[in-house]
Structure 1
């Protein structure tokens, strides 16, 4: 199945300490085995069937690199949610969204995710449960969302299935600052759900269903059987980890 994909490769402005640590101008240009993270992501998208790929960029260095890879470019907004919203207006639905720091991205993760999205969903996110992640890569340190049905980490893959997904992007903008503090996000849904969350009685599906109702969309989570899908490059330790995984498992990764 051919699809359209967006790669977020912008920055929040200012000096990027991770790019500086790696000796490059931009995070997306960090290399593994002589290939930039952005190039690795684009290659995985193409192998999964992406017929149209756009890169959201902040710097001309990233834009030039993206064009050299043969993909479209869209100027990034100040934050990820606004950048996705801007691209969504240009590219339309359905749209797969991922990030340039998803250096281990594999085509099979993408095709499995898209196949597992329910047909009535307006927006879907891929998540992996902690036990699945730690079974594959126990040394990684992730941020987990703790729900009654497990501890979950995002996998930087989103499917915007319909035009109504634009409503979800509006809600995303309102909670973006709280992405590392899930209880604050849940608090927006009212005291009942907050209490269920605090007492460990709120499931991930119930939280997403409530968020979806707030936004006027059908929102769902898709559980990934691939623990490595939750590994991205956010800090220097991640660079070392991903480099080690690529060396150990090449050519499988």
Structure 2
């Protein structure tokens, strides 16, 4: 993939029928508007994304009922050179990505509105990896996540070469990669869904994964063969990238880590 304009998709919707406790605690309508270190979660993400080279558009997927409120927040980051568009989300996360993609042919970077520890360098690594892959998933090794904060994550995917955590940062090099997005549609919940895992990896490979007998990168090769699209895992040394604001515990962790994150320039 040559250097080209990138569309960033930010998933900001809440789970259907779920009242987010962080939003309730902060007396706001939506989790992405809950403040941390004096700024709404989505502001921290936007402040990083607007510094990423070659981004031509940012599209935020969220329920229409919060569009008017978010338009006010996002106006601080939009410009004629970098339009920010709000798109109605879908109950299915893959459909939300497809809707947010609009008419663009890609490449796409996908992240979440609660990914407050995101860095420009991490996005750049994903973009670079799309030169050799249809779909990219950002991950961090368990040792690096624990080095960033011992309470940052409690659940890891078990591979024979060590545990990994999802960083909620993905790359889709073109529309061909949309079918690979099904693998990522529930982020960290994917490995707990046996049906989705079997469809993606195949029954024998699921047994090997469950037994901790398969290494990460060979597993990505198996997944690529099953999907008919090249899927690559990008390993971040920065373990904090695997920590987003999911609950009270991770809110406290992110609040502690934010002051030490790389400057947004």
TM-score using structure 1 length: 0.88
Change (3 A) 1:48 1:176: closer
Change (3 A) 1:178 1:30: closer
Q: Report if aligned partners of 1:12, 1:79 keep a CA contact under 8 Å in 2.
A: no
Corresponding residue number in structure 1 for 2:47 = 43
Q: How does 1:1-253 map to 2 (within 5 A)?
A: 2-14=5-17, 15-49=19-53, 50-66=55-71, 67-69=74-76, 70=78, 71-115=84-128, 117=129, 119-170=131-182, 172=184, 179-181=190-192, 185-188=196-199, 189-247=201-259, 249=260, 252=263
Distance 1:227 1:212 in 2: 25
Structure 2 residue runs of 5 or longer lacking an equivalent are 79-83
Q: More displaced, 224-233 or 161-170?
A: 161-170
Distance 1:178 1:240 in 2: 22
Equivalent pairs, count: 250
Deviations 1:138-183 (A, max 9, x none): 222342111112101011110001221122135556x879525166
Deviation at 1:48, TM superposition (A): 1.6
Distance 2:196 2:32 in 1: 28
Distance 2:164 2:261 in 1: 27
Deviation at 1:119, TM superposition (A): 2.5
Q: Report if aligned partners of 2:6, 2:106 keep a CA contact under 8 Å in 1.
A: no
Deviation at 1:210, TM superposition (A): 2.0
Runs ≥4 in structure 1, deviation > 6 angstroms?
A: none
Q: Report if aligned partners of 1:3, 1:96 keep a CA contact under 8 Å in 2.
A: yes
Change (3 A) 1:143 1:85: farther
Deviations 1:16-70 (A, max 9, x none): 2231123211010011232211111111011122231110111433554244242
Corresponding residue number in structure 1 for 2:81 = none
Distance 2:226 2:218 in 1: 12
Deviation at 1:80, TM superposition (A): 1.9
Distance 2:146 2:42 in 1: 26
RMSD: 2.4
Deviation at 1:252, TM superposition (A): 4.3
Distance 1:61 1:186 in 2: 33
